[in-house]
């Protein structure tokens, strides 16, 4: 058996998220369907670095699978792209050692969130950016970002529905916010993320930008360990799983 | 009666073009449907600067309609946007004089065409750019653009199916091509355009970029006045009606 690692990009707009669900179009189902064709009907199970929700995009999701076929890495890329629909694309494929695991070997994940902070929405980017037409204090948001970096218990910033095993302590290596011509880009790099964590962080940072929360309040929010003190969950369409490092 | 002029932006991806067709989702139908609601069931007919085909986008299409309602221009913008789906947006609305006509008063139209000239496609822009992964000689294309500017009979560059009345002489004020980081942008500004003209021009300029046609051949092609000598019709998704001037 050979193990294949693929980096994939997908537009989450027309998917019910990453993970297979009965009677729903999902990214995992499309890829497994293409692999089944390549394997002449044999079902192949893929493993991802993690799920993404309905409407969330990936620029660099990572998956792996095992195969009996002896095909070079780049040919996997071409074979899969020839079969996949136009909203999923394999940007890289390679043969990896048998101890590689797309989920368990993750060292760092990077998410980006895009906000369009202009009066008018942009019809061409409506599925890839969150249009927020109100005034935001970017410097206050940037100050709040500093309070989020480092190792913290992120219970406040994870969905109350989360069923994660173990503690909710995670380390964020980078939390940044930059504005360019009406577009605001948030970058989150960390050891791991809880369910809905990035979207709740963005929702809370928007509250900071509107003056509803002061930057130092972020420390108090972290200490509270209660979802109800954080801001709203920002909409899915602005979120991109940007990169997974191993 | 008041006459209202609106500048509208739409993502053509999920429309069967601009013009009303039975049982098809079109831009005109969506706007007329919204106007009918505002007018409590009265049917309002809108007039555009011209049609756009299935999959073609508009950043600045212009329409007009007549109304008995005495509402200020900007309130029309808000009322329509509140009712329109997320892939059509009114960027500007104003009351204009009764002799204004969105089609007959056009002084200049600008189209832009976007080509992604990179090895890999971009899943996020697949509906807004034509992915062309082969090498192109941009300087040759730019030289060919010079032969297209000015007043010419554009029969060679219009669909053989065109049913336009009168001659096919048009004046192009600007034909340009610029490359930036793998993206190629074509700009066409002119007095008027024939059916499929921009897409056939782009298809032919791609042939120039691949060395199939030399820049001075463009003059010969214009003189031939025969569609069969021009290049392929470039795909709809790269084309944007950018601006209409009155």
Comparing alpha-carbon positions, the chain A residue that sits nearest to B13 is A124
Q: Determine, yes or no, domain membership for B102.
A: no
Domain final residue, candidates B53, B68, B96? B96
A181 shares a domain with A145:
yes
Band (A9; pLDDT cuts 50, 70, 90): very high
In contact, A238 and A169? CB cutoff 8 Å: no
What is the average pLDDT across A224-245? 96
Q: In this structure, is residue A137 part of a structural domain?
A: yes
Name the β-bridge partners of B88. B10
Pick the range with the lowest mean pLDDT from A139-148, A165-174, B112-121, B149-158. A165-174
Pick out the residues of the known binding site of A for substrate: 111
Query: Among A96, A121, A155, which residue terminates a domain?
Result: A96
Q: Minimal CA–CA distance to B1: which of B64, B56, B57, B48?
A: B64
Q: What is the pLDDT of residues A166-212, one digit of tens each?
A: 789 999 999 999 999 999 999 999 999 999 999 999 999 999 999 99
**Same domain membership, residue A120 and residue A62:** no
Could you list the residue range(s) of the whole structural domain that residue B6 is in?
2-96
Assess whether B34 and B141 both reside in one domain.
Answer: no
Number of domains in chain A: 2
A165 pLDDT more than 80:
no
Q: Torsions phi, psi of B132, nearest 5? A: -130, 100
Q: Are residues A55 and A115 in the same domain?
A: no
Which of A29, A61, A96 delimits the end of a domain? A96
| pLDDT over 80 at B200, yes or no | yes
A152 forms beta bridges with A170
Instruction: Provide mean pLDDT across the span A81-99.
Output: 97
Do B130 and B26 sit in the same domain of this protein? no
Indicate whether A176 belongs to any domain.
Answer: yes
Please report whether residue A101 resides in a domain: no
Does a structural domain hold residue B124?
yes
Q: So what's the pLDDT on residue A163? A: 67
Task: Report the pLDDT value the prediction gives residue A76, as an integer from 0 to 100.
Answer: 97
Average pLDDT over chain A reads 96
Ranges assigned E (strand) in chain A: 2-10, 47-48, 57-67, 88-96, 108-116, 130-131, 150-153, 169-180, 183-190, 239-245
A237 — phi, psi (to 5°)? -65, -20
**Same domain flag for A48 and A129:** no
Are B78 and B6 in contact by the 8 Å Cβ rule? The answer is no
Contact assignment for B87 to A126 by CB distance below 8 Å = yes
The answer to whether residues B90 and B112 belong to one domain is no
- Evaluate whether residue B103 is within a structural domain: no
Q: What's the average model confidence in pLDDT over B230-239?
A: 97
pLDDT at B114: 98
Domain match, A140 and A174 both: yes
Pick from A172, A140, A159, A156: which is nearest to A230 by CA? Answer: A156
CATH number at residue B23: 3.30.70.580
Q: Taking a contact as any Cβ pair under 8 Å apart, which residues of chain B between 71 and 100 contact chain A?
A: 86-89, 91
CATH number at residue A146: 3.30.70.660
Residue B123: list chain A partners with CB under 8 A.
9-11, 86-89
With b for 16 or more beta-carbon neighbours within 10 A and e for fewer, the A6-29 pattern comes to: bbbbbbbbebbbbbbeeeeebbbb
Q: Are residues A70 and A139 in the same domain?
A: no
Question: Which chain B residues contact residue A86 at CB under 8 A?
Answer: 121, 123, 126
B-chain residues near A11 (CB < 8 A): 123-124, 126
List the end-to-end C-alpha distance of chain A, in Å, as a whole number: 21
pLDDT at residue A132 greater than cutoff 90: yes
Residue A127 and residue A37 share a domain? no
Phi then psi for residue A96, to 5 deg, are: -120, 170
Q: Average pLDDT for residues B18-46, to the nearest whole number?
A: 97
Residues A125 and A155 in one domain: yes
Residue B162 lies in a domain: yes
What whole-number distance in Å separates Cα of residue B175 and Cα of residue B155? 17
User: Are both A84 and A147 inside the same structural domain?
Assistant: no
In a domain, B40, yes or no: yes
B126 close to A (CB below 8 A): yes
Interface of A with B in 11-30 (CB under 8 A): 11
State residue B100's pLDDT score. Answer: 98
User: For chain B, what is the mean pLDDT?
Assistant: 96
Helix (H, G, I), strand (E, B) or coil at A87: coil
| pLDDT tens string B136-183 | 999 999 999 999 999 999 999 998 776 667 789 999 999 999 999 999
Residue A119 touches partner B, C-beta closer than 8 Å: no
Can you give the pLDDT at residue B166?
79
Residues with Cβ < 8 Å from A97, sequence gap 6 or more?
Answer: A3
């Amino acid at each position: 058996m050979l193990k294949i690692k693929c980096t994939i990009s997908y537009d989450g707009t027309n998917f019910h998220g990453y993970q297979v669900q009965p009677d729903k179009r999902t990214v995992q189902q499309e890829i497994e369907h293409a692999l089944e064709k390549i394997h002449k009907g044999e079902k192949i199970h893929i493993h991802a670095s993690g799920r993404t929700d309905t409407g969330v995009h990936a620029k660099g999701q990572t998956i792996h699978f095992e195969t009996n076929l002896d095909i070079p890495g780049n040919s996997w890329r071409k074979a899969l792209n020839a079969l996949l629909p136009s909203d999923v694309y394999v940007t890289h494929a390679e043969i990896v050692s048998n101890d590689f695991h797309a989920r368990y070997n993750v060292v760092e994940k990077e998410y980006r969130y895009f906000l369009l902070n202009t009066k008018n929405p942009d019809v061409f980017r409506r599925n890839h950016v969150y249009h927020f037409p109100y005034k935001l204090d970017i410097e206050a948001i940037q100050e709040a970002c500093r309070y989020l970096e480092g190792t913290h218990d992120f219970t406040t910033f994870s969905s109350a529905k989360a069923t994660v095993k173990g503690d909710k302590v995670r380390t964020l290596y980078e939390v940044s916010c930059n504005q360019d011509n009406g577009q605001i880009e948030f970058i989150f790099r960390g050891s791991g993320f809880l369910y809905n964590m990035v979207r709740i962080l963005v929702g809370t940072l928007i509250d900071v930008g509107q003056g509803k929360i002061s930057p130092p309040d972020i420390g108090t929010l972290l200490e509270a360990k209660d979802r109800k003190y954080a801001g709203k969950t920002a909409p899915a369409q602005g979120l991109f799983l940007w990169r997974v490092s191993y």
